Amino acid sequence: MASAVSPATGRELSNPPSDGITNLRFSNHSDHLLVSSWDKSVRLYDASANVLRGEFMHAGPVLDCCFHDDSSGFSAAADNTKLHQENTFGRGLFVVAGYHSNKEDILGRHDAPVRCVEYSYAAGQLITGSWDKTLKCWDPRGASGQERTLVGTYPQPEPTAGRHVNIYDLRNMSQPEQKRESSLKYQTRCVRCYPNGTGYALSSVEGRVAMEFFDLSEASQAKKYAFKCHRKSEAGRDIVYPVNAIAFHPIYGTFATGGCDGYVNVWDGNNKKRLYQYSKYPTSVAALSFSRDGRLLAVASSYTFEEGPKSNESDAIFVRSVNEIEVKPKPKVYPNPPA
């Protein structure tokens, strides 16, 4: 099917996943886009050319993915091996796969599905988080086999399904550097570090985003704040939507949020202002990613079952060109001094 191009929402990529999209990420080296899905696939697109470059199929749903280099990446899935009756998806595994060659290396496993994967280029390590309440660090440069690639396993001091935030230094993962509780009252949906490394943005299911700072000094903590977003008033009622995704612009440090209301908003966190709101997408915005140079924004339009099973729009990936006016912070205007 030919791609649909709309200036309002962007170009719709051909050959999208056939089930819920769990994440999408641009490469640090090109306009390649990696996409994971509940349809058991990880797909590699050339987002500029609108071409599917490769696909890798797992045995179970794929809950997250990230790049290793421009043509290979890590993906987190479940392998259908039931270890416990209450564990519906089975034991979690993750692989490194070359999407052009369709080759795979299984680096290791958790005792429950792996929910998230992140690769640290600085440390040369992969960090995985699982529903088994552990973090694990892996060195993918080692030979195949869990014993040779596993750097360490770090049980979480308390359940992280609620509002707890644990902050680690990758050079010493034995215990968190800081243990915090989210300043938001409801369950966390997404957390992303600032590009300058000074703090993080955290979103919740209750239409709010918190801006936090790592420095515990009184001056730094005085700068933190939270704001409402992805809400609407209808018949005198405030309807609140989960904020599923946060993505920082790599050049300007502004950020986009995507919610279950189908909207993407762009924010200037320093000046506490909304810069732009894009036209509404067909269904919930499940994931967002800016390209390495900030010229493109990928948007996963995919129902996240926040209202339970119901008829919904097909899953789709949109790639829109980003205009500087949408993401560049506006200079502060100071009043003229009295004459």
Q: List, for residues 261-310, the tens digit of each pLDDT value.
A: 999 999 999 999 999 999 999 999 999 999 999 999 999 999 998 877 88
pLDDT tens track for 39-71? 999 999 999 999 999 888 888 899 999 998 887
pLDDT mean across residues, the chain: 86
Q: How confident is the model at residue 98 (pLDDT cuts 50, 70, 90)?
A: low
Report whether 114 contacts 76 (CB < 8 A). Answer: yes
Query: What pLDDT score does 4 carry?
Result: 39
Neighbours of 207 (CB within 10 A): 24
Query: What pLDDT score does 148 carry?
Result: 59
Determine phi and psi for 147, rounding to 5 degrees. Answer: -65, -30
Query: What pLDDT score does 89 carry?
Result: 45
Structure tokens at 295: 């010229």
Query: What order of strands is seen across the sheet that includes strand 273-277?
Result: 243-248, 255-259, 264-268, 273-277
The whole model's pTM is what? Answer: 0.89
Q: Which residue has the tokens 């202002």?
A: 273
Query: What pLDDT score does 49 carry?
Result: 96
Please enumerate in sequence order all residues whose Cβ is within 8 A of that of 194, keeping only pairs 6 or more positions apart, or say none.
Answer: 200, 201, 248, 253
β-pair type (316-321, 10-12): antiparallel
Identify the residue with better confidence: 289 or 113.
289
pLDDT tens track for 116-145? 999 999 998 999 998 888 999 998 876 555
3-state secondary structure of 89: coil
Please list the alpha-helical segments (H only) found in 222-319: none
Q: Where are the strands (E) in 241-330, listed by range?
A: 243-248, 255-259, 264-268, 273-277, 285-290, 296-301, 316-321
Determine phi and psi for 172, rounding to 5 degrees. Answer: -150, 90
Identify the residue with better confidence: 252 or 5.
252
What percent of the chain lies above the pLDDT cut of 90? 58
267-293: burial string, b at 16+ Cβ within 10 Å, e else: bbbeeeeebbebeebbbbbbbbbbbee
Query: What pLDDT score does 81 carry?
Result: 39
State the Rg of the chain over Cα: 20
β-pair type (150-155, 237-240): unpaired
Query: What pLDDT score does 6 carry?
Result: 45
